[in-house]
Amino acid sequence: MHENVLAGIEKKIGVAGIGSLLADRLSGSELSSLLLEVYRRKTDRLKPADLLAQFRQNRLVQPAPLDMIALMESSLAVLRFFRERGFLPVELSPVAALGSCSVVAAVSQDKVVSAVRGTEIVADATNALALVIAGRRRCGEEGLIRLSTVHRHVRTQAFANPRYLPHFVLGCMVSGGRDTGGYAFECEGLVEHIGSYIDLLREVYGVGREPRDTRLDHNRALAKVATEEGRVEAGPTKASDTTERSEGCERGLAGGKGEVLALPEMRYFPGNAFPAYIRLVLKRRGGYEGALMERERGDDGGRGGDDGALVDRVEGALRAHLGGVAGGREVVIEREDVPAANEYYKGLQFKLYITVNGVEWEIADGGFVDWTQRMLENRKERLLISGFGLELLFKMQNGLL
């Protein structure tokens, strides 16, 4: 696809290999200067009416049809929960260093909104947090570093469901440490991340809780206050139900083309009962540096230093810990032991699913990556990343899916 587009451009302007020429012969600052001049000339030709037409046609710039205050209340509850668990909340920039995803992970730059001045719009906050950890390491900080954030991500892939926007809010945790032998970092980190998500689902979102759980009394009081303030539960409403048609399109929050959702009244339901059950899947992945180092030390549990030994250790630690984490309620744990073709995670990936009204949703994902090892050129560095669908859960609570 790119080759065809570039070939057309080369033919149009009469310069063969223009993509390679610009990428190979210009420095980053020179390329930024060139693009800034191009954008300046392009915008000089735009009229206000052109700007509106551009806005209506570009799916990346449409606002989310959500109650902003209710969503922020949910985000704040998550950040407070992360902080209580020892993960320092970080307010990230809306932009990241150019290549934050594609340089260290098996992610195409095509899925990222690239910008000028050596930046890109944040497409994965865990990559940005990994850079923060690597930077602190480079400045001499030792020990375990735990960071978290809630951030709106922008990704360019298209979704078949019009209710899914190319930008969405995720909650993320990242743990950066160093190898201490015996898969200690790995076991402790996975127990922290997975245990925290299970507690988050139960305590903040009420997943699987009984409606009469006395620990929800305070949260119900908060919900009552929110109700008295006028924020009541309501389902989604089509723009055609609330606005007049004009010029052959439905005008909702964004005034875009096609079927657009109008903004319904919504509420963050703190700790409300959310009937569901949780399924945890541990997926074996190849290429983990820690497995190689365990083999070199002869501390691999007799497994020959393969990634299966890592999954064995982690699974044992999780099963020993989850009884307390899950509050006495069963969390189904499954294991996929055949390494899949995956260049993103190393050694182990986990996924958390919740089933609501017979429909299963993937709600969290995480695992080990080698990003800080490569950034710092140090085999002993360890990094565990994870994220969950904060906005997805919010939509589920408000009947928007």
Write down the pTM of the prediction.
Answer: 0.82
Rounded CA-CA distance 132/145 in Å is 10
Rounded CA-CA distance 304/296 in Å is 9
Instruction: Give the pLDDT score at 231.
Output: 37
Instruction: Give the pLDDT score at 299.
Output: 54
Structure tokens at 401: 């899916």
Q: pLDDT confidence of 74, banded at 50, 70, 90? A: very high
Average of pLDDT values for 96-121?
A: 93
Structure tokens at 136: 């602190």
For 20-57, how does the pLDDT look when each residue is reduced to its tens digit (9 = 90+)?
Answer: 889 999 998 999 999 999 999 999 999 999 999 999 99
Q: What is the DSSP letter of 145?
A: E
Q: Of the candidates 280, 261, 291, which has an alpha carbon nearest to the alpha carbon of residue 349?
A: 280
Residue 275, SS3 per DSSP: coil
Instruction: Give the pLDDT score at 145.
Output: 98
Instruction: Give the pLDDT score at 8.
Output: 85
For 162-210, how does the pLDDT look when each residue is reduced to its tens digit (9 = 90+)?
Answer: 777 899 999 999 999 999 998 999 999 999 999 999 999 988 888 876 5
From residue 20, alpha-carbon distances to 6, 15, 26 in Å are 10, 11, 10
Q: What is the CATH superfamily name and number for domain 60-216+269-397?
A: Bira Bifunctional Protein; Domain 2 (3.30.930.10)
Positive/negative CA dihedral, 153, 166, 105, 175: positive
From residue 277, alpha-carbon distances to 335, 352, 362, 374 in Å are 17, 10, 12, 38
Instruction: Give the pLDDT score at 263.
Output: 53
Sheet-wide strand order for 332-336: 88-89, 145-154, 167-178, 381-388, 359-369, 348-356, 277-284, 332-336
From residue 129, alpha-carbon distances to 19, 121, 133, 169, 171 in Å are 31, 14, 6, 16, 12
Instruction: Give the pLDDT score at 47.
Output: 96
pLDDT at 150 > cutoff 60 = yes
Domain boundaries of the chain, sorted by first residue:
2-45, 60-216+269-397, 232-265
Rounded CA-CA distance 123/128 in Å is 9
Rounded CA-CA distance 116/308 in Å is 43
Helix (H) or strand (E) holding 324: helix 307-325
Q: What is the DSSP letter of 114?
A: B
Residues 130 and 107: beta-carbon distance below 8 Å = no
Q: Which of 258-267, 288-297, 352-361 has the lowest mean pLDDT?
A: 258-267
Q: pLDDT confidence of 82, banded at 50, 70, 90? A: very high
For 279-335, how does the pLDDT look when each residue is reduced to its tens digit (9 = 90+)?
Answer: 999 999 988 866 555 555 555 544 445 678 889 999 999 988 886 554 445 688 899
Instruction: Give the pLDDT score at 290.
Output: 61
